[in-house]
Amino acid sequence: MPAEKKPTGSVWTRERSRQREQLTREQIVAAAIELLDAEGVEALSMRKLGSRLNAAATSLYRHVAHKDELIELVVDEVYGELDAPAAAGRDQWRTAVAHTAAELRAMTLRHPWIAPELGQTGLIHIGPNALRMSSGLLAQFEAAGFPAAERDRAVGTLMAYVIGIATAEAAYLSLIARSGKTEREWVADLRPALDDASREHPRLREGSSARRDADPRRIRDEDFDYGLDRVLDGLAARLEV
């Protein structure tokens, strides 16, 4: 017999507990974010979170059925740090979208653990803060003149770029943080090995040498802006079709 299919579940599709509890959902989410920021997603467990709140893990299960539901809640709470995407006219859509993209990247770098979790919660986010951001982005692309059939894809393309590059940056910065060094120190220490490894690859050596004395954070900012401009160039070209 085929295995019984489990219903597609989400913390947002389940009725919220109305009983008076020792803990509130908001307290649980705030403590989870503090734990994640301090120790990373590997450290998150219902038992450890309960200890942090001086409560039994069973108290948490009255609000969330399992860890995946907790992840849904904390991801949406972090989305709430973003400003609502600003309304934009046809001539200002690109500036408005770029601002939203930069905020999303900054949010991810403030909470490096969130990058892989954005994928774990799925491509469709139905939390209120995520919906508010997505709706605002759709309005920006509508103001630009994108037809209804392309707006979702335009938003998806933008999000794929921003989350993709921010995920790589977050992993890189987490590696540096574990070393106990600053980014400048880490890059400077790696420089001799990089120079030696690229000795037989002149194209790589040329690009590396050109940025030798640049602030690594500024390089990351400039690289992000370059890629974002190219994504927006491609989207803007659709308006000329």
Cα–Cα distance, 38 to 32 (Å, whole number): 10
| pLDDT at position 142 | 94
| pLDDT at position 119 | 57
Q: Is 152 exposed, middle or buried, given 0-12, 13-18 or 19+ CB atoms closer than 10 A? A: middle
| pLDDT at position 16 | 64
The residue type at 128: P
Give 135's contacts (C-beta < 8 A, 6+ positions apart): none
**In CATH, which of 1.10.357.10, 3.20.20.70, 1.10.150.120, 3.40.1190.10 is domain 93-180+211-238?**
1.10.357.10
Q: Domains of the chain: which residue ranges?
A: 19-65, 93-180+211-238
Give 127's contacts (C-beta < 8 A, 6+ positions apart): 12, 72, 73, 75, 76, 79
Q: Render pLDDT for 57-101 as a digit per residue (tens, 0 to 9).
A: 888 888 888 888 899 899 999 999 998 888 878 889 999 999 999
Q: Which range, 11-20, 37-46, 125-134, 230-239, is most confident? A: 230-239
Q: Render pLDDT for 125-142 as a digit per residue (tens, 0 to 9).
A: 778 999 999 999 999 999
CATH number of 19-65: 1.10.10.60
